[in-house]
Amino acid sequence: MKKFEKVFYNLLTKEANFFMRDYYSNFHKENKWLGVLDLGEVILGVIVTSDSEEDINYREAKEYLAGAFDKPHILNSVVLVSGEYINNSPNKNKLIFSLKDRKILYCSETSKILIPIIEYMVKIDTSSKENLIKYKLTYSLILINILIYIISAIKSKNFIDIDIITLIELGAKVNLLINEGQIFRFITSAFLHGGIIHIIFNMMALKIIGVQVEQVYGRKKYAVIYFASAIGSSALSYILSPQSISVGASGAVFGLLGAMFMFGYKNRKNIGKEYMINIIQVIILNIAIGLTVPNIDNFGHIGGLIVGSLIAAVLFKRI
């Protein structure tokens, strides 16, 4: 209920020009919030309440309005219910909303002004849940990266920067250790990050490009592209940058960029050249940043880009 109340009152002030007032509740022994809109000749008030406390909350809010304003007032209650609504409250100005079914069960004439706000809240909530399901792999990869970063931060005893020893112990790309048979480092290095800024930028990029790849290629092909690009990134770094100790998801993200480049190329007649130009600009910009900023494994980026592009071009001729 607290979350609903917070979002509802926020939208009430931003979208419907209400302002907020707080009053002390003798029943709850704390301050409660009340949305207020001055309509000129009358004051319109809105409270959010559970069905079990509807009567007392309505009575206290109404007493506050009567004492705070020298105008007639109408008080509307947004009543939140988890099951069946069984309250026989004398208050007729109400909107009854089912938290379980996420829908309006009843709305009085005076409360209809609140319907667009409630419907917008439901739409936002539904859209967020649908995106989590629709782009499950992208959000799962982000979650895994974050969890591994938390583990590395705890082990390193530093949340901002992870020390090199910790990164090596957890699976960074180190040629000497790979030569000793630890080939798992080709993939584990892609889930490690050297610091908070490093993981934030990589996860933001993964969120943006990942949902596109998941939508275009589908979850299974997306997984192949991502993990193959991660391995390809480590492989080229292993060959051309043997002294470097490398970590990060950026090689895999570059592979996703390569996959979207191939998608744009194959469908250039339908989506136009602007899309291709945008992808190329993003790739060039990120490579340029890698060439000018120290401690970035550019060969890893290029390796991921090449593998991602090749996988998309050779294996997925039809999308």
**Complete DSSP assignment for 36-76:** EEE-SSSEEEEEEEEGGGHHHHHHHHHHHHHHH-SS-EEEE
Whether the model clears a pTM of 0.75, i.e. scores above it, the answer is no
pLDDT at residue 234 in the model: 96
pLDDT at residue 14 in the model: 86
pLDDT at residue 293 in the model: 65
Tracing tokens 């009358």 back to the chain, one arrives at 42
Residues counted in the chain? 319
pLDDT at residue 273 in the model: 72
pLDDT at residue 142 in the model: 96
Render pLDDT for 214-233 as a digit per residue (tens, 0 to 9): 988 989 999 999 999 999 99
Backbone angles phi, psi at 272, to 5 degrees: 85, 165
Tracing tokens 């002390």 back to the chain, one arrives at 24
| Contact (Cβ atoms closer than 8 angstroms) between residue 39 and residue 16 | no
Running along the chain, 319 residues long, what does each successive block of 10 average in pLDDT?
86 89 92 92 93 92 93 93 78 89 90 90 72 84 97 95 95 96 96 94 93 90 96 96 93 95 81 77 82 78 95 72
Known catalytic residues?
250, 301
pLDDT at residue 316 in the model: 65
Which residues neighbour 189 within 8 Å (Cβ) at sequence distance 6 or greater?
Answer: 171, 172, 173, 234, 246, 247, 248
Alpha carbon distance 302, 260 (integer Å)? 15
pLDDT at residue 318 in the model: 53
pLDDT at residue 138 in the model: 95
- Cα four-point dihedral sign 31, 32, 36, 42: negative
Alpha carbon distance 198, 176 (integer Å)? 24
CATH architecture of 135-314: Up-down Bundle (1.20)
pLDDT at residue 198 in the model: 93
pLDDT at residue 27 in the model: 93
The H-assigned helical ranges of the chain are 2-15, 54-68, 115-134, 136-156, 164-170, 175-179, 185-188, 196-217, 219-240, 250-266, 268-271, 273-292, 298-314
pLDDT at residue 285 in the model: 85
Please report how many Cα atoms fall inside a 13 Å half-sphere around the Cα of residue 151, on the Cβ side: 12
